[in-house]
C-alpha cells in the first residue's frame, strides 16, 4: 500500500440534487474540511455557486450554470482559484466520493465503473428524485476528472445486513422478485456514523452492542443496530415508509391508497404527491413541516399543531419499542439530524414513560442542542446520546477506504 499517498489523501465529496450540488473538500490526514459550498439553481435563472474555504469569508458567484457538468467545473475552479483556492491543481484531488441514494442490493461503497452506473440507473424508478441527479453528478465528475477515481457511497448499503425476515414484505413472492420489492432502508450513512460514534462516546464495544439510532430530520428513519450492523430500519422500498415525517405520511393502512384514489379521483402522481409532499406533520397541522413553526403555533393555542407533534411522538415511540423487541434490549438510544440534534423537547417527549425500557433522560442536560452529549441520567440503563450526524465525513472515510483497498 502506498502509505504516503494515503496519508496525504484529499477527497472531494459531491451530493448532487436535481438542481443543486453540495460539495466538501476534505483533507483526510486530519479529516478537516478544506472548503465547502453549494451550486444552486442549475439549469434555472439566477444560478449561483457558494464557496467557502476553511476560516475564510464565503463568496458567491452568480453565473449561468446550465447543467451539472458546468456546475462541477465551477466547483473545481473555486477549489483551485489562485486567491481563494485550497489546492494548486485538480491533480491534488485523490478521489471523488458521491452520495448515492438507492443502491439496491449493493452492500458497500464501490469504485464507480460502467457496471455500477448501469445498476444505479436500473434503480431510477425506485428513487426518481435522487438517482437521476446522482448519475448526472457522477458523469460530470468523470468527464471533468477522467483520471481521478470516483466512489459511490449508497444510503441503502448499511442496511444490506438485514435478514430476509426483516426485509421481506408479505406480498406474493413472484411479484416481489420481478420488481425487486423489499425493504432497502435509507439514511444508512448517517445511521452508521452515529452508531459508531455513540459507542465510542459511551465506551461500549460496537461489536457487542444493541443500538437504536433515530435520524430525525425532514426525512426521518429509525434503525436497529446490532453489533454494529443494521438489523432493521423503518424506511422501506422507498423513503416513504416508517415514521411520520415533515411532509411524508410514513406508515398508514395500505388500503387507504386505493380508497383515496377512488374517492378523490386521484391518479398515481397525485396520490404520490399527497403522501410525500402534503402529509406528515404538515398535513396533520396544516401549518408547517418545520417543528419550530409547529412549536410557535402551539404557543398560540393551535390544537392541530399539537396533534401533529403528538402523532409524531407516538409513532417514534412505537418504532423504538419495536426495535427494543427486535434487539432484545437497547444499550444506547441515539438522536441525530435537524430535529434529533436540536430539539430537547422532542427528545424528552419521545423518551417520556420509557423507564420500562431503562430509558431515563436528564431533563437539564437534555436542553443542549447540536452537540455530542450523553443526555440520560447516570442510572439510566439505556444511554441516551445526541450525536450530530456528519454524512459528508462518513462518505469521505468510505471513499478513502475504497481507494486504500484498491491501491
Which residue among 17, 103, 104, 219 contacts ligand ADP (CB under 6 A)? 219
217 binds ligand ADP (CB under 6 A): yes
21 binds ligand ADP (CB under 6 A): no
142 binds ligand ADP (CB under 6 A): no
339 binds ligand ADP (CB under 6 A): yes
Which residue among 17, 71, 188, 338 contacts ligand ADP (CB under 6 A)? 338
Which residue among 157, 337, 396, 403 contacts ligand ADP (CB under 6 A)? 337
Q: What number of chain residues touch ligand ADP (CB under 6 A)?
A: 14
CB of 292 to ligand ADP, least distance (A): 5
Among candidate residues 27, 155, 232, 331, the one labeled active-site is 155
CB of 340 to ligand ADP, least distance (A): 8
CB of 249 to ligand ADP, least distance (A): 16
CB contact set of 96 (below 8 Å; sequence gap of 6+): 11, 12, 13, 14, 141, 145, 148, 149, 150, 151, 399
Which residue has the closest beta carbon to ligand ADP? 338
Q: Which residue's CB is nearer to ligand ADP, number 219 or number 242?
A: 219
Which residue among 291, 312, 323, 335 contacts ligand ADP (CB under 6 A)? 291
343 binds ligand ADP (CB under 6 A): yes
Q: Which residue's CB is nearer to ligand ADP, number 58 or number 369?
A: 369
309 binds ligand ADP (CB under 6 A): no
Cα three-residue angle 153-136-105, rounded to 5 degrees: 35
Place of cell 436535481: 18
Nearest to 23 by CA among 10, 34, 36, 33: 36
Q: Strands of 257-361 (E only): list them.
A: 332-336
292 binds ligand ADP (CB under 6 A): yes
Segment lying near ligand ADP (by CB under 6 A), choices 125-133, 214-222, 352-360, 397-405: 214-222
Separation of alpha carbons 163 and 130, rounded Å: 26
279 binds ligand ADP (CB under 6 A): no
Residue 366 near residue 348 (C-beta atoms within 8 A)? yes
Nearest to 39 by CA among 59, 58, 65: 65
**Phi–psi pair at 96, nearest 5 degrees:** -115, 130
CB of 297 to ligand ADP, least distance (A): 13
Q: Which of residues 347-406 bind ligand ADP (CB under 6 A)?
A: 369
CB of 194 to ligand ADP, least distance (A): 12
Q: Strands of 79-205 (E only): list them.
A: 95-100, 110-111, 150-154
Place of cell 466520493: 97
Q: What is the dihedral of CA 279, 284, 285, 286, to 10 degrees?
A: 50
**Phi–psi pair at 184, nearest 5 degrees:** -105, -45
Q: Strands of 217-282 (E only): list them.
A: 220-226, 229-233
15 binds ligand ADP (CB under 6 A): no
SS3 277: helix
Nearest to 347 by CA among 382, 313, 308: 313
109 binds ligand ADP (CB under 6 A): no
Segment lying near ligand ADP (by CB under 6 A), choices 10-18, 83-91, 254-262, 290-298: 290-298
321 binds ligand ADP (CB under 6 A): no
**Phi–psi pair at 263, nearest 5 degrees:** -65, -35
Q: Which residue's CB is nearer to ligand ADP, number 139 or number 389?
A: 389
Separation of alpha carbons 249 and 28, rounded Å: 39
Residue 350 near residue 382 (C-beta atoms within 8 A)? no
Q: Which residue's CB is nearer to ligand ADP, number 81 or number 290?
A: 290
Residue 237 near residue 184 (C-beta atoms within 8 A)? yes
CB of 203 to ligand ADP, least distance (A): 27
115 membership: H or E segment, kind and range? helix 114-122
CB of 267 to ligand ADP, least distance (A): 27
Q: Which of residues 58-97 bind ligand ADP (CB under 6 A)?
A: none
CB of 17 to ligand ADP, least distance (A): 11
246 binds ligand ADP (CB under 6 A): yes
Active site residue 155: yes
Residue numbers at the binding site for ligand ADP (CB under 6 A): 217-219, 246, 289-292, 337-339, 342-343, 369
Q: Cite the active site residues.
A: 155
Amino acid at each position: 500500500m502506498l502509505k504516503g499517498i494515503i496519508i496525504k489523501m484529499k477527497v472531494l465529496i459531491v451530493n448532487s440534487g436535481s438542481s443543486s450540488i453540495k460539495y466538501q473538500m476534505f483533507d483526510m490526514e486530519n479529516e478537516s474540511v478544506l472548503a465547502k459550498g453549494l451550486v444552486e439553481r442549475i439549469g434555472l435563472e439566477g444560478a449561483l455557486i457558494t464557496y467557502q474555504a476553511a476560516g475564510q469569508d464565503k463568496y458567491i458567484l452568480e453565473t449561468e450554470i446550465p447543467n451539472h457538468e458546468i456546475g462541477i467545473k465551477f466547483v473545481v475552479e473555486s477549489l483551485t482559484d489562485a486567491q481563494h483556492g485550497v489546492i494548486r491543481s485538480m491533480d491534488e484531488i485523490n478521489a471523488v466520493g458521491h452520495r448515492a441514494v438507492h443502491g439496491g442490493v449493493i452492500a458497500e461503497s464501490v469504485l464507480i465503473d460502467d457496471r455500477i452506473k448501469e445498476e444505479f440507473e436500473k434503480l431510477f424508478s425506485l428513487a426518481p428524485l435522487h438517482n437521476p441527479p446522482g448519475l448526472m453528478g457522477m458523469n460530470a465528475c468523470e468527464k471533468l476528472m477522467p483520471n481521478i477515481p470516483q466512489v459511490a457511497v449508497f444510503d441503502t448499503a448499511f442496511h444490506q445486513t438485514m435478514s430476509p425476515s426483516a426485509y421481506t414484505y408479505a406480498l406474493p413472492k413472484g411479484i416481489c422478485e420481478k420488481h425487486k420489492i423489499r425493504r432497502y432502508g435509507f439514511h444508512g450513512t448517517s445511521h452508521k456514523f452515529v452508531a459508531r460514534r455513540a459507542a465510542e462516546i459511551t465506551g461500549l464495544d460496537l461489536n457487542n452492542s444493541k443500538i437504536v439510532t433515530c435520524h430525525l430530520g425532514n426525512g426521518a428513519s429509525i434503525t436497529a443496530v446490532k453489533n454494529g450492523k443494521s438489523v432493521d430500519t423503518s424506511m422501506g422500498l422507498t423513503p416513504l415508509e416508517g415514521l411520520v415525517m415533515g411532509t411524508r405520511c410514513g406508515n398508514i393502512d395500505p388500503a387507504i391508497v386505493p380508497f383515496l384514489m377512488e374517492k378523490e379521483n386521484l391518479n398515481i402522481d397525485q396520490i404520490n404527491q399527497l403522501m410525500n409532499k402534503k402529509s406528515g406533520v404538515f398535513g396533520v397541522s396544516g401549518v408547517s413541516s418545520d417543528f419550530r413553526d409547529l412549536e410557535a403555533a402551539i404557543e398560540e393555542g393551535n390544537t392541530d399543531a399539537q396533534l401533529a407533534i403528538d402523532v409524531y411522538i407516538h409513532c417514534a415511540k412505537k418504532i423504538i419499542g419495536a426495535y427494543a423487541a427486535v434487539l432484545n434490549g437497547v444499550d444506547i438510544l441515539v438522536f441525530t439530524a435537524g430535529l434529533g440534534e436540536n430539539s430537547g423537547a422532542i427528545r424528552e417527549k419521545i423518551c417520556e414513560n420509557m423507564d420500562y425500557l431503562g430509558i431515563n433522560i436528564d431533563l437539564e442536560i437534555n436542553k443542549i442542542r447540536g452537540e455530542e452529549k450523553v443526555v440520560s441520567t447516570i442510572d439510566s440503563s439505556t444511554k441516551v446520546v445526541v450525536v450530530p450526524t456528519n454524512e459528508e465525513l462518513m462518505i469521505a472515510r468510505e471513499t478513502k477506504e475504497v481507494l486504500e483497498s484498491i491501491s
